[in-house]
Amino acid sequence: MKKTAIFAKVHDPRCLVVAEDLIRWFRAREITPLVQEHLACRLSQPELAVCLSGEQIAEAADLVLVLGGDGTLISAARHVGGREVPILGVNLGSLGFLTEIPLSEMYPALERCLSGDFEVSERMMLQVSLERQGREIELHRVLNDVVINKGALARIIDMETVVDGQYLTTFKADGLIVSTPTGSTGYSLSANGPIIHPDLECVSLTPICPHTLTNRPLVMSGDVTIGITLKSTHEDVFLTLDGQTGVRLVCGDLLQIRKAQQRTRLVRSTSKDYYEVLRTKLKWGER
């Protein structure tokens, strides 16, 4: 690995300090550190790193190092997910579901990555197409979830949903969450969605505050294609992708959601397994 990208939570001073140390550590090993402009401009020695756009980093990096929390990692994954570059997530705050490697383990984990002695968790992603009047206007990949949500003052919205061309139902709710197993411990969980092991190949459909109490979360094969058409008029409705990109929807808009060909590859921690992270994060067993 000759080029390593660093994504950091730039508004956290701790992340900037660690990023500075990492850049020098990489340079001492003749590894080129790659950073985006918003990080480079906050470094005391920006000339030690190569400043590139997110798209250029995605093409060039052999390894991605993320400093921050799960949100920072999801942002990095959306940049590099197309190439399936290994991502090493280092958590500098509270334990994360995705950034599970603590700072104390960062350099040993990096040494393993550079020597090729590491394991990855391959995470399913979703491809999301937004069609308006028969024309595709948006195309995205997401790691966590696709959320349709009403505005603060909007009434309940109607979302006609089909699975592999077969009519499922028209959800009448505050919104709808289509989640990967990775995203099952995010917004979906707060809406009473199921916790799904990240190694599974499936997708969950969770209504937000449904008008009909019998509308329960539904788990389906990861190979299905889900079509959702907005049927409501005169309502403020938004599409949110991984909690980071938003698009206003209008009546008649059609979402086509299916499994992406690409995957996100997360470097596993050698000291924590998934169940320990789950137990610790959700405080299971505590009184």
Q: Compute the distance between CA of residue 242 and CA of residue 220 in angstroms, rounded to an integer.
A: 20
Residue 55 has a pLDDT of 82
Q: Tell me, yes or no, whether 53 and 71 share the same domain.
A: yes
Q: Tell me, yes or no, whether 113 and 175 share the same domain.
A: no
In 211-272 the beta strands, taken as DSSP E runs, fall at 218-221, 226-230, 237-241, 245-249, 254-267
Q: Tell me, yes or no, whether 132 and 97 share the same domain.
A: no
Domain residue limits at 237:
125-261
Q: Tell me, yes or no, whether 8 and 62 share the same domain.
A: yes
Within 10 angstroms of residue 48's Cβ, the number of other Cβ atoms is: 16
Whole-model pTM: value is 0.92
The catalytic position among 21, 70, 145, 273 is 70
Q: Tell me, yes or no, whether 226 and 167 share the same domain.
A: yes
- What are the pLDDT digits (tens) for 69-106? 888 999 888 888 778 899 999 988 666 788 878 888 89
Name the residue with tokens 């480079």: 40
Q: Tell me, yes or no, whether 137 and 232 share the same domain.
A: yes
- What sign has the CA pseudo-torsion 63, 64, 67, 70? negative
Q: Tell me, yes or no, whether 11 and 87 share the same domain.
A: yes
Q: For 133-273, where are the alpha helices, taking DSSP H only?
A: 187-190
In a domain, 58, yes or no: yes
Q: CATH code at 8?
A: 3.40.50.10330
Q: Tell me, yes or no, whether 22 and 97 share the same domain.
A: yes
Average pLDDT, the chain: 92
Q: CATH code at 137?
A: 2.60.200.30
In a domain, 287, yes or no: no
In a domain, 286, yes or no: no
Report how many domains make up the chain. Answer: 2
Q: Tell me, yes or no, whether 166 and 241 share the same domain.
A: yes
Residue 94 has a pLDDT of 67
**Cβ atoms of residues 242 and 142 within 8 Å:** yes
Has 199 been annotated as catalytic? no
pLDDT band (50, 70, 90) for residue 59: confident
Task: Answer whether residue 127 shows pLDDT above 80.
Answer: yes
Q: Tell me, yes or no, whether 182 and 253 share the same domain.
A: yes
Residues 6+ apart with CB under 8 A from 4: 26, 31, 32, 33, 34, 61, 62, 63, 64, 65
Name the residue with tokens 């383990």: 105
Name the residue with tokens 């699975």: 163
Residue 53 has a pLDDT of 87
Q: Tell me, yes or no, whether 113 and 137 share the same domain.
A: no
Residue 101 has a pLDDT of 87
In a domain, 185, yes or no: yes
Q: Tell me, yes or no, whether 248 and 146 share the same domain.
A: yes
